[in-house]
Amino acid sequence: MLIKKCIAGDRGAQLALYNLFSPTMLIVCLRYANDRQEAEDILQEGFIKIFVALHQYKNIGSFEGWVRKIMVNTALQRIRKKATLRPIYALETVEESLFLNNTAITNLSAKELLYLVQKLPTAYRMVFNLYVFEGYKHKEIAQLLSITEGTSKSNLSDARNILQKLITSQLKIAK
Amino acid sequence: MNNLNDIDKLFKNAIEPLQEQPSEQVWQTVESALDQKNAENYKRKFILFKRISLALSILLILIGVYELTNQNKTEKNNITLVQPNNIPLHQNKLSVEKKQKNYSTHKNILSANKGIATMLHNKIISVGSHKEIIPIKNNSTEISSTINSIEKNEWNAIAEKEISFNNTNSISHQKLATIKLNNYSLPIVHQAEIINQIIQPVTFQINKSNSSLIHRKKFQPQLSVTAFVAPQITQYNLKTNPAIIVPYQTQVYQQIEEEEKQLPSSFSAGLSLTYKFTKKWSVQTGINFSSTVIDINPSIIYASADGNGAVKYRYNVSSGYVYVLPAFSSNPKIGDSLFTTSAKHTLQYINIPVTMGYTFQKQKFAITPGVGIGFNFLTSGLIETNFENSSQRESETLSNIEGLRKSYINMLLSVNVQYPISNKVSLSFTPLYNFAINSINKNNIVQSFPYSFAIAAGIMYQFK
């Protein structure tokens, strides 16, 4: 019903839809963006696309999933404009395998973890987000980012290593 | 590995439930963008109607101007003089139709290609340079005697002669009839007799009945066929497709726009059939073949998965896209790239137009502005190019363009100009502008709307 009203151009309904999804979608955008400003830019661009293309939503799958997909695509499109994803980023060799347990993780707040994701180099951040949060396979990620499947796997592995390292650093600072 | 999977899960579980309110500024920007989009949608929705309205307005203005400037001539042009049935004219017919019909009166004596005899509401009788003002009565004796007094040589010397008379006793001052006489060739001895014969039935006719004198010429519907060829300049309006949301959409759009910015060369040729159902209104249809050749600059194409899951190189063009796999690159990985050389992209359509036209005559020229729609059916779409990597090169002709509709509709605006070279054959020139109403693409990243300006030149044959 809300969707139908939005399609009809009811501004009140559009605002209600925005209020319903924007807090969750801002987090999605924050995961892909470098900072909050960029995340809000992605969010507003994504919502414009959602309202324009709303009549194309076919009631297949969850509506939130559809909204999230558009938001992710908008983020990828924006980031691709800024930097090429094809070159493989050089990664510092992670010399030691850091031990990480659940207790250590829970000592960091969710927002701090989100901050760590944002600190990942762009190419790794994209692959990590698409794989871990959006549930894409490496083949799909490769197609979305116009990279090879091997690069996708390699980037994911590097992203995990960097996150481990960052978490350790954060914990050390906290102590 | 287990440890790494835990990282994935723990990040996901920690971050996913998070929510955060965006700043007020975000909704304000969204709202103002939506207002703008609404305005654009409104404009887009009515742009077709605007264009049709504009075309019809121009047509109506042209009609209006024509009608106003020719208001006084219309009545004169439509008058036909006929010989009354009850008045024999030495077994001959006198029939003059709108300045151009041949007629003969006295057998083998008078032949005239063109001529004019005018009955006016004055008391002048004139032949060529001779003018005498005389009173005219019910018979034409005085007229003939006057004309007979004109020097013989003048009959031959004067190219166009006018015979004007007025029967004040019988002619309604509103009635006007015209007979044009030109290029006489007749024995002088019969001048007076002929003039009598010409004038007599006319004066009688007027006396008898005004309505039987003046007849509106009844129009017979006409069918004609025109064979034409039309070189044309074609361009494409390119837009991103709002229905397709992919991360690389903008890049593809920019790449196509950059690579296909050269002017395509194109032409069309065919037959058009015109059915003129009134003196001025006609409907036109036909069939023509059009071919457009677009030159594409060299570019880089990337491998991606096609619809069947196979990894191939995707070549994007304004009309659609093609997945291609050169023999030298049999097993590409997603993201691999290839170079293409300059490419030649050919699109061929069969077009069936339906237009409505309004004709007005300007001396010998028949000018017909028209407006209508055309239905375009794709017959062939080809891309000829070379693919190359650092060491190998392969030439390809690609015909399986995806994302290209089998048909599209366009609007037509035209101005047809005809010049008769015989009774049945005319030369035809038609400047015409057409533009696509819908995109030539389907489910493609970009949408192309072709528009073109052409000048069709042809020969028209009119069936009787």
Q: What would the pLDDT profile of B137-152 be if each residue is shown by its tens digit?
A: 444 444 444 444 444 4
- B228 shares its domain with B376: yes
Q: Which range of residues forms the domain containing residue B147?
A: 79-216
- B282 shares its domain with B359: yes
- B91 shares its domain with B231: no
Could B7 and A139 be called an inter-chain contact, meaning their C-beta atoms sit closer than 8 Å? no
* Residues of chain B with C-beta less than 8 angstroms from the C-beta of A9: 38
Could A80 and B8 be called an inter-chain contact, meaning their C-beta atoms sit closer than 8 Å? no
Q: For chain A, what percent of residues have pLDDT higher than 70?
A: 81
Which of residues B165 and B410 earns the better pLDDT score? Answer: B410
Question: Which of A93-107, B96-110, B194-208, B338-352 has the largest mean confidence?
Answer: B338-352
Taking CA–CA distances from A6, the nearest residue in chain B reads B34
In a domain, B445, yes or no: yes
In a domain, B142, yes or no: yes
* Residues of chain A with C-beta less than 8 angstroms from the C-beta of B20: 23, 26-27, 30
Burial B24-55 (b: 16+ CB within 10 A, else e): eebbebbbebbeeeeeeeeeeeeeeeeeeeeb
Question: Is the confidence at residue A100, as pLDDT, over 60?
Answer: no
Question: Is the confidence at residue B306, as pLDDT, over 50?
Answer: yes
DSSP state for residue A131 in the 8-state scheme: I
Residue B124 phi/psi, 5-degree rounding, is -115, 135
Q: Give dist(CA B34, CA A62) in Å, integer.
A: 24
The whole-angstrom distance between A112's CA and the closest CA on chain B is: 9
Instruction: Single out the residue in B179, B199, B216 at which a domain terminates.
Output: B216
- B197 shares its domain with B242: no
Residue B304 phi/psi, 5-degree rounding, is -150, 170
How many folded domains does chain B comprise? Answer: 2
Could B250 and A81 be called an inter-chain contact, meaning their C-beta atoms sit closer than 8 Å? yes
Restricting to A residues 52-111, those with a Cβ less than 8 Å away from any Cβ of B are 52-53, 56, 70, 73-74, 76-77, 80-81, 86, 99-100, 102, 105, 110-111
The whole-angstrom distance between A163's CA and the closest CA on chain B is: 8
Number of C-beta neighbours around residue B77 at 10 A? 12
Give yes or no for A169 touching B (CB within 8 A).
no
Number of C-beta neighbours around residue B8 at 10 A? 17
Which tokens in the block code for residue B344? 């030649």
Could A146 and B335 be called an inter-chain contact, meaning their C-beta atoms sit closer than 8 Å? yes
- B178 shares its domain with B290: no
Instruction: Single out the residue in B152, B183, B216 at which a domain terminates.
Output: B216
Residue B426 has what pLDDT? Answer: 93
pLDDT band at A67 (very low <50, low <70, confident <90, very high): very high
Taking CA–CA distances from A116, the nearest residue in chain B reads B11
Domains of chain A: 2-82 (1.10.1740.10), 102-174 (1.10.10.10)
What lies within 8 Å, CB to CB, of B63 at 6+ separation is: B358, B360
- B194 shares its domain with B288: no
Give yes or no for A147 touching B (CB within 8 A).
yes
- How far, in whole angstroms, is CA B67 from its chain's centroid? 21
- B283 shares its domain with B360: yes
- B271 shares its domain with B196: no
pLDDT of B184-225, one tens digit each?
A: 444 444 444 544 444 444 433 333 344 444 455 677 888 999
CATH of the domain at B242: 2.40.160.20
- B86 shares its domain with B210: yes
Nearest to A73 among B26, B30, B247 (CB): B247
Question: Is the confidence at residue A135, as pLDDT, over 50?
Answer: yes
DSSP per residue, B193-210: HHHHHHHHHHHHHHHH-H
Q: What is the mean pLDDT of residues B11-36?
A: 87
Burial A114-123 (b: 16+ CB within 10 A, else e): bebbbebebb
What lies within 8 Å, CB to CB, of B370 at 6+ separation is: B284, B355, B356, B357, B358, B412, B413, B414, B415, B416
Best of A17, A21, A26 to disrupt the B interface by mutation (most B CBs within 10 Å)? A26
Instruction: Single out the residue in B174, B192, B216 at which a domain terminates.
Output: B216
- B369 shares its domain with B273: yes
In a domain, B28, yes or no: no
- B419 shares its domain with B276: yes
